[in-house]
Amino acid sequence: MFLEENRALAIQRAIKELCDDEVLLVLGKGDEKYQIIGDEMLHFDDVEEIQKSLQLYFKQ
């Protein structure tokens, strides 16, 4: 188990450390396409981040 406050990095790390017989659940944001950090509302899409992370992982 690990704690990563940056959601994108957490998704990347979880995918990288996933074993063949494991399932990764990315929960908590639902269909939100943004993330509020401080006073800012920033674009953030879990599906996009998962796709990017998978592309990086399978390029290796």
Give 18-52 pLDDT, tens digit per residue. Answer: 999 999 999 988 788 998 889 999 999 999 999 99
Is it the case that residue 60 has pLDDT exceeding 80? no
d(CA 5, CA 36): 13
Q: What is the pLDDT of residue 1?
A: 79
Q: What is the pLDDT of residue 13?
A: 95
Q: What is the pLDDT of residue 12?
A: 95
Q: What is the pLDDT of residue 24?
A: 94
pTM for the full model?
A: 0.81
